[in-house]
């Protein structure tokens, strides 16, 4: 079991560029989540999904989009990257309340 | 409006002594609480949880206490070990299987 995997580990983007952060899980979990963590802050929920084809906004969705075409994958799309999106992004999955996290993607927008 | 607060940004403890990490919450609808541990350059990992129908849950060196009337929970680590040095996040949920709200985290340093 690989658990939750995320790619890439690191990325530097220029302002206005776009990219997709990949997330996959092999635990057959229905629930998947995207968080961002800024320095000295807790994890803020960006988007979540309760199953394939169903997504919903979290606390900080602006500037992001998601899709969930399969149970395993939950990519996060950044359109028109801005410096405020510099952060560490974590993907997580769960079958209940306990969430399992990926190793994170460190994104810098300059 | 922070619904989950960890008011101590950091804590330093001697090896072998007790570490106590605190967490306060404001939303009375929260009924499930979790502690996560995070090492640098890794994702958070689940440590221990407690349901609102309990006031204590124990797992080895880790015990979580819940005081619903005070809307306060704490994580006790006894004895503390250098490998416990990490960031600890408190999280809460208003519904089993639902979204988690995280605190800002407390950096624990255990000195040998």
Q: Which of A21-25, A39-43, B100-104 has the highest mean pLDDT?
A: A21-25
Does B88 reach chain A within 8 Å, measured CB to CB? no
B100 touches chain A (CB under 8 A): yes
CB contacts, 8 Å: B47 with chain A:
none
Across all residues in chain A, what is the average pLDDT? 95
The region, left, alpha or beta by phi > 0 then psi within -120 to 50, assigned to residue A78 is beta
- Least reliable range by pLDDT among A61-65, A77-81, B22-26, B96-100: B96-100
The Cα–Cα gap between A72 and B10 comes to 37
Chain B residues lying within 8 Å of A40, measured CB to CB: 9, 104
DSSP assigned state of B52: T
Q: Which of A95, A97, A103 sits opposite B43 (nearest CB)?
A: A103
**How far is it, in rounded angstroms, from Cα B89 to Cα B106?**
7
Listed as ranges, residues in chain B with pLDDT below 70 are 1, 96-97
Provide, as residue numbers in chain B, all residues whose Cβ is less than 8 Å from the Cβ of A95.
Answer: 97
Q: How large is the average pLDDT for residues A15-40?
A: 95
A41 pLDDT above the threshold of 90: no
Strand-pairing partners, residue B21, are B75
Q: Name the residue among A41, A94, A101 with its Cβ closest to that of B44.
A: A101
A19 at B interface, C-beta within 8 A: no
The predicted pLDDT at position B108 comes to 98
Q: Residue A91: which of A37, A53, A51, A40 has the closest Cα?
A: A37
**CB proximity list for A58: less than 8 A, separation 6 or greater:** A33, A34, A35, A44, A45, A46, A47, A48, B99
pLDDT tier, A40 (very low <50, low <70, confident <90, very high otherwise): confident
B46 in contact with A, Cβ within 8 Å? yes
Distance of CA B110 to the CA centre of its chain: 16
3-class state of residue A99 by DSSP: coil
A14 touching B (Cβ < 8 Å): no
Residue-level pLDDT at B2: 81
- Mark which residues 27-46 of A lie under 8 Å from B by CB: 31, 33, 35, 40-45
Phi-psi region of B26 (alpha: psi -120 to 50; beta: other; left: phi over 0): alpha
Interchain contact A88–B (C-beta under 8 A)? no
């Amino acid at each position: 079991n690989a658990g939750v995997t995320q790619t890439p580990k690191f990325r530097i983007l220029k302002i206005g560029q776009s990219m997709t952060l990949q997330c996959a899980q092999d635990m057959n979990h229905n629930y998947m989540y995207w968080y961002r963590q800024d320095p000295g802050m807790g994890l803020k929920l960006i988007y979540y999904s309760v199953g394939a084809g169903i997504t919903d906004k979290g606390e900080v969705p602006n500037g992001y989009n998601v899709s969930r075409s399969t149970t395993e994958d939950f990519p996060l799309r950044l359109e028109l990257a801005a410096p405020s999106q510099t952060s560490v992004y974590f993907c997580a999955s769960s079958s209940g309340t306990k969430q399992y996290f990926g190793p994170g993607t460190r994104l810098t927008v300059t | 409006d922070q619904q989950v607060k960890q008011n101590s940004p950091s804590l330093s403890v001697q090896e072998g002594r007790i570490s106590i990490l605190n967490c306060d919450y404001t939303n009375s609808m929260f009924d499930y609480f979790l502690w996560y541990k995070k090492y640098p350059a890794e994702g958070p990992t689940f440590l221990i949880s407690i349901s609102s129908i309990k006031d204590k849950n124990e797992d080895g060196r880790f015990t979580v206490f819940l005081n619903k009337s005070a809307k306060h929970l704490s994580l006790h680590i006894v004895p503390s070990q250098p490998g416990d040095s990490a960031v600890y996040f408190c999280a809460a949920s208003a519904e089993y299987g639902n979204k988690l709200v995280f605190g800002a985290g407390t950096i624990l340093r255990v000195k040998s």
